[in-house]
Amino acid sequence: MYDNLDLGLINKVAIVAGGGSANEEIGNGRAAAILLAEAGCKVLVVDKNEKSANQTVDIIREKNGVAMSVGGDLTIAGECKKVVNLSIKTWGRLDILDNNIGIDSRLSVVKESEEYWDRVMDINLKPIFLMSKYAIPEMINSGQGGSIINISSISATRPKGYTVYSASKGAVISLTKAMAVDHGKNGIRVNCVLPGPVYTPMVYSKGMSEELRSIRKRASLLEIEGNAWDIGKAVVYLSSNWSKYITGQNLVVDGGCSYSSRPRG
C-alpha cells in the first residue's frame, strides 16, 4: 500500500534559504534541500556562503535531482527579491519556501551586548520576513497556493537560558501564526518546525565532548539522538499534500525532550 506514495511534490519548485552547511556535513537546510529534491522538487539552494550552497547542489545532482544555487545575504531586501525572481525566471513558479537561516546566543540579557541582540534578531527574523514578502505574491500568482516552513526551536517554548536566541525563535513562531492567518485565504500554508537538541554541524563545529553529546541524547524520552535528516523530513511533510489541512502549527521534532526534566546540555 505504500509503494506509490503521492506527496504531490513532483516538479514543484522549492527555495531553501540557508541550504548550505556550517561545513561539508549535513545541516538542517542541506538535509531539507536534498530530501525535497529526492521527492521530486526543483530546488533553489540559497546561502550567504555560495560555495556551501554549491556543495548542496552537487549532492542533489549526484542523485539525479534538479537544483541550482545562488549566494545571497537574505537580510537585504534586494537579495531576497533577486532569489525569488531567479526561481520564477528559471522554473516559472514557486511552491515552497523553507527558511533555515539562524545564529545562536548563549548569554543572559545582563551579559549579552546590544549589538549582538540586534544581530540575532536581524539574522533569525528578517530573512523570514523578507523572503516571504517576495515569495508570497508569486505563490498567489500561480493560483495554486504554496507552503512556507520556518525553522524555530524548542528553546522558544522551553528555554534553557539561551535568552536572546529563545526570544528570536519565539518571534518566529508568532510570525508564522500571523502569516498563516493573513494568507490562508490564498491557499498558502505557513508552519513551524521546532528542532530539539539535534546533532548538526552548527552545533558540533564549535566543539562537543562525547560526555555532552551523551547528555543531549539522554535528554530525549527515547534516549536517541536526532540529526538534520529528522528536521529535513519534517520540512518535506509540511511541504507535501500529506499536510494540506495543516497551517499555523508548530511541529516539534525533539524526541520528547520537551517533556523531559533531564538536562539538554
Catalytic residue among 165, 199, 237, 245: 165
* Residue 70: strand pairing partners: 46
Rg (C-alpha) for the chain, rounded Å, is 18
165 is known as an active-site residue: yes
Cα–Cα distance between 32 and 13 in angstroms, integer? 13
**What's the rounded Cα separation, in Å, for the pair 140 and 145?**
6
Q: Which amino acid is at 259?
A: Y
φ/ψ bin of 8: left (φ > 0), alpha (ψ from -120 to 50), beta (otherwise): left
Q: Which residues touch 260 (CB under 8 Å, ≥6 apart)? A: 219, 220, 221
Instruction: Please give the sequence-ordered ranges of beta strands (E in DSSP) within 87-195, or none if there are none.
Output: 96-99, 146-151, 188-195
Tally Cβ neighbours within 10 Å of residue 23. Answer: 13
User: Is 66 exposed, middle or buried, given 0-12, 13-18 or 19+ CB atoms closer than 10 A?
Assistant: middle
| Euclidean distance between CA atoms 74 and 83, whole angstroms | 9
C-alpha cell, 63: 542523485
Per DSSP (E only), the strands in 2-113 are 13-17, 42-47, 66-71, 96-99
Please tell me what DSSP assigns to residue 156. Answer: G
Of 71, 257, 237, whose CA–CA distance to 157 is shortest?
A: 257
The catalytic residue positions are 165
